[in-house]
Each structure stands twice: as structure tokens, then as C-alpha cells.
Structure 1
Amino acid sequence: MRIIKKDELFFLYYEQWIEMYKEGAVREITMRKYRMTLKWVKELLPTLKVYELNRTAYQQLLNEYALSHEKQTTMDFHHQLKGAILDAVDDGFIDRDPTRKAIIKGKPPKEKKPKFLNQFELNTLIKNLNLSDEINWDWLILLLAKTGMRFSEALGLTPNDFDFSYQTVSVNKTWDYKGHGGFLPTKNKSSIRKIQIDWQTTSQFVRLVKGFNENEPIFINGKVYNSTINNKLARHCKELGIPIISIHGLRHTHASLLLFAGVSMASVARRLGHSSMTTTQKTYLHIIHELENQDTDLIIRSISQLV
């Protein structure tokens, strides 16, 4: 690997930084994000040298990127660049941190689609699924709704991952549906977990996976696209007159119903495989606020009875 100098073009410095610090250290899906960031840097700052990167140049980069991206996407872009830039400061290539006090802008967000279903809507969906005698995509929809698993985690399930005696399903790998197929590690260590399932789902899958190879994924039969499953779920929702959500929305639905049912934040975080409760709290902040309002009403009713 060649020696980087302060008069190196910034996009070349960033490219080498990705190779040195991120290649092999992050998942492929994360690497794709870094490569996309590199593509934008090369397009927007093709001639800027490392030592020329000051606050003005960096803010201009963010502003130009924000013209065609929403604020959250621009924030992600900023975070992926910041690590490399701080290393350049530490190495003496840049005099001062140009990311300090950066202003994040972006296009107005698109109208938000519903992220989850309420209990009545989910029951309506489940009652109308085509749960045939053989594995199909509707069985995957059911399992995602009842476990809150990520799409890639469910695709990676094999018969060996089910413990029917204890009514659990183990999540210990994922399926590379975005790449060339095959098993991949889970998102993080916290994602490795056992999820309790109800007796009805247990008895259904006992029958469904009978005769399957113990170590082969039960939902995979050729190339899988998440758009295929999303479209199938969307058709169900449209036909039933309920909000159209994505496959990932089933995970949000699962977590939302548990929180509204009074399940603790810690238990929901473990069931979802979140690395910390902070992730769960940030993701479901709107539900937490609603539950706090309910708690306030309960508190007032309780203390009003004190005499």
C-alpha cells in the first residue's frame, strides 16, 4: 500500500482509508454504503487535496450532497466521512477538524408511509394469509409477524434452528439475499438469540419442515428479492383495506404490539436482537410517548383515589 501524503487528492485518501480500516472489518452491506459515499466524494470533490479540506470546503460538500438527498441521508453521509477526516487530522494532514459544527441540510422528507399495523389490522392480515400445506411466502409473512425477525434472519432459518420441544427458534445467521446467496453472520452479537414462539406456530412448522434437510434454509428456492415479498404483502394489505406496510414493517408491528401490551423495553430489545435498549428507544420513541401519556392518566387516577 502506497504512502499517503497531505497533497493527495481527498477522494483517493478516502478510498485508501476505506480499504485499510473498513475492508474485512464491517459487513458487506456497510461496505456498499462506504463505496457509495466514495462515489459521491469523487463526483463532488474531484480535485480537492487532503490539506485543502477546511470547514468551508466540507460544508460546501455537505450542501451539494443535500441538494438531492433527505436530511437523514445527509447525516449518514457526514458520519461515514467524519472518521476518515478525523484520522487525517490526527495524522497531521489537516490542521483543524473541518467537520466541527457542520450544518446538516437536506430535501424535505417524502410523505411517510405507515410503518406498522395495529392489532386488529394484523389479525385481519394473518386470517387471510394463504397458509397452504407447503412452505410459501405467506408462511414467511406469518413468521415475521410473530417473531419480529429481520428479513435476512428469517431467510437463513433451517429446520435445525427450531426447537419444537421448547417452542423456540434460534437466530444465529442470515441469508445473503442482496448478494450471491449463502449464509452470513448476524448483524451483531446481540442478534444471536432464541425467540419464543406460540404453540400454534410451533405445531404448524413441525408439519411444514418435515422431510426438509436439517441444515438447508427452508424458505430459499433460487434467487430471492425482497421486492417480491414486499409486493406480495402490499397486495394482501390493499385487498384487505389495511395500511400498506413493508416486510420490515412487520418487525415494527411486532415490537409495537409488545410495547402496547406492557412488555418491558429490555425484553423487546432482546427479542428484536438490538445491541442496546437505546436502539429500541430511538426506534419506537413515538410509542414510548404514547405510553407515557397513558401512564400519566393512570397516575392521576391512582393518586386521586388517595384520601
Structure 2
Amino acid sequence: MATIEKRSSSYRARVTIYQHGKREYLTKTFKTENEAKIWGTTLELEKGKGKAIAHQNTLFKAFYYLYVQTVKKNDVRKATFDNYVKASKVINRLFPTAKLGKLDDIQMQAILDKYGETHSKKTVTELLKKIRTALRYAYAKGYIYNDFASLLKAHGKEMPKRNKALSMSDLTELKHYLLQHIDNEFNLMVLLEISTGLRRGEILGIKPEDVHYDGQYYCVEVKRSISPTNDDTKLKTKHSRRSVTIPKDLYALLKNITPKESGYLFDWYHFKQSELLKKLLKKIGIPATTFHGLRDTHASFLFSNNVPISYVSRRLGHDSIITTEKYYLELMPEKKHSQDTNALNLLESL
């Protein structure tokens, strides 16, 4: 049975376990005797069910590393696995001595909040996703007795958005400039981006044979994606493999590009497209954005012209409409003003 020991103004619970033939102890300190009893009794019950509670003495950082190397390695694509590995370096810093059995939502939340003071909310969110999957696996295996992963929240600095969608007027100006300067191959890459909303890696993965006429439409077949960090050319999701229609004039321009020695249509520019785009937009006098911002622009343009969300979702290669609603339902300023006017007119007509 668990033993409870009063220590000054707190109570320490201790549960005996046997690991590799040796007797060891799981201990945890609480503010009240009742909390200590509940913890001790719960562990004794879990031990009685045969659950491997001895793993609660394992350092969380060590458990996370083993979880990533044995479970996630063959469960996700290479790019995603690399992100899990990168996260382990952060976890090593945040939880250098924390043991599985002594973790709880309050302790972990405090550490994550401290991390969020100097990092963006998006960065904290991505880290938390990986921590949650590891904790849920530990709970399912019986290494921890409390499934508290869902209680953890991501807090962080609200950083200025870099992936800003261009306004309709800026989009029009950009397209006109690109068509007037088609001798520059990078300009054709940007033109393809605003015309399709492809991910940057998907554009870099296009080969000459992927640009074709199917008897009805001019299309670009999305079959692969190029990453700057590894040689994995797999697409992001199963719905990323798709055929995206393009204008006839753009089709003709793409067909005139001389393929590179690598077999791909576009030069990868050492993956510095963002720098080139920044210079291009500055030259034209258009607010800066990223390649993903141009993807947002394409989606917003379709939404502003009442194109059904189901079609936009398929065109963007999303797994579901929910993803599209979550990330791309930001209408262009002009459309919002129009809707505001319509809404006010309707209200005034009551």
C-alpha cells in the first residue's frame, strides 16, 4: 500500500515498485493529505491491473525521444518526423529532470507559458501538439495514470502575420506586371502561384510532363513536393495529389520553359524564393507577403467571387473543408466592405 508522510506543510506519497528485480519507489509531494492519498491509491490500483507504472520514473525527455524513434518514425512522413526530432531539443531544455510520474497539467502549463513569453503562439502550438501525442501514448500504455494532455493550452506572443493575402487591387497590379515581364522565369513561378494556390514545394516539384491538356482543360498535375530540408518528395496529405486547372495563356508560357538538368520545370533558387518575392513586390510597390501569402491570396480571390468552398478546398489540396474554413476564409478587404454595406442595407430595410 502507498505510504503518506507529512513533511512540514506538505504531504509526500510513496508507492513501492519493482523494476529489473530491484525495489524502487515512486514519490510525489502534495499540499494536502487527501491529494496524496488519492494519488497513492490510484497508482496502487493501476499497479494491481498490471500496468507498467514503473515507467513513471523515466525522464520525460528520454521517453519522448524513444517515442519519436520507435513509434513516430514509421508512422509519419520524413518531413514530419524531422519536426518531431527538432522538438526533442526544445523538450530537453524545458524538461531536463521531469519524470513521467511527476508530470501534471499545472506543472507543464507553467513551463509552456514561460516558453510562450519569448515565442509565438504558433510555435508553442506546434510544440504542444507533439507533447500531447507523446503523453497520450504514455497514458494508453499505462506509463502515466492521468490523461491530462487535453488540459494543456498554447499561449504565446501574437506575432505580426507574414502570410498576408493581397488585396484585389494589389493582386491585379501584380498579375499585370508579371505578364509584362514573362522573360523572367521567377515571374512565371509567381504567376503560377497566384493562378493555382499551389504550395511552394508543389511548384518546385513540377516536371514538364505534369503540365498538359486533358482534352477539356489545361492542367498542372501535382504529384510531388520538394523540401529544403530533406530528399522526401511525398505530398503533404493524400488529397494533395490533384489536377489543378490553369488558363490557356499560362499553359503556353509554362510549355516554353526549358526543363532543368534535374528534370524539374523550375530552378529551385537555393530555396530563397521568399527573398526574391520580397524584392519583386518592393519593386512593384506592393505590400510584402510570402509564397504562402500568395496561396492565401488565390483562395481569398476565389471566395470573394463566390466560388463554393468545396471546390476551393479540393483545389488547395486540403484534407477536408474544415481545414479550408479554418485557414482560408479571410475575405479580401474589398469583399468585406461590400458585405458590410449589404448587411447594413438589409438591416435598414427592416
Same fold at TM > 0.5: yes
Structure 2 alignment gaps of length 5 or more = 1-51
Is this contact kept in 1: 2:299–2:312, CA < 8 A?
yes
Structure 1 unmatched ranges of 5 or more: none
Q: AA paired with 1:246?
A: T
Higher relative contact order, structure no. (Cα contacts within 8 Å, ≥ 6 residues apart): 1
Please name the residue that 1:104 is paired with: 154
Q: Which has a greater percent of strand? A: 2
Between the aligned partners of 1:114 and 1:55, the Cα distance in structure 2 is 33
* Residues 151 and 297 of structure 1, relative CA distance in 2, 3 Å threshold: same
1:150 aligns with 2:199: yes
For the 8 Å contact 1:67–1:106, the answer to whether it is kept is yes
What displacement does 1:55 show? Answer: 2.5
CA contact (8 A) 1:281 1:288 kept: no
Counterpart residue type for residue 231 of structure 1: E
The number of residue pairs the alignment matches comes to: 294
- Alignment RMSD, CA only? 3.0
Structure 1 partner of 2:275: 231
- Could you tell which deviates more after superposition, 242-251 or 147-156? 242-251
Q: Percent identity?
A: 29
TM normalised by structure 1 equals 0.85
User: Which residue identity does 2:266 align to in structure 1?
Assistant: F
Matches within 5 A, 1:82-97: 82-97=132-147
Bigger CA radius of gyration: 2
1:267 to 291, 311, 325: 311
Write the mapping of 1:112-261 to structure 2, written as runs, cut at 5 A.
112-113=161-162, 115-129=164-178, 130-132=181-183, 136-164=185-213, 165=215, 166-179=217-230, 181=231, 184-209=233-258, 212=259, 216-220=263-267, 224-226=269-271, 228-261=272-305
Counterparts of 2:91 and 2:242, CA distance in 1: 38
Question: How far does residue 125 in structure 1 lie from its aligned partner after superposition?
Answer: 1.7
Distance 1:292 1:266 in 2: 24
Q: Aligned residue for 1:287?
A: 331
| Offset at residue 110 of structure 1 (A) | 2.4
Task: Pick closer, same or farther for the CA change 1:189–1:114 going to 2, 3 Å.
Answer: closer
CA contact (8 A) 1:53 1:98 kept: no
What's 2:123 paired with? 73
TM-score normalized with structure 2 length: 0.75
Q: 1:176 deviation in Å?
A: 2.8
Secondary structure at the counterpart of residue 244 of structure 1 = coil
Asked whether the 8 Å contact 1:160–1:214 carries over to 2, the reply is no
Cα 1:241–1:11 shift into 2, 3 Å: same
Structure 1 residue 256, shift from structure 2 partner = 0.8
Q: Secondary structure at the match of 1:5?
A: helix
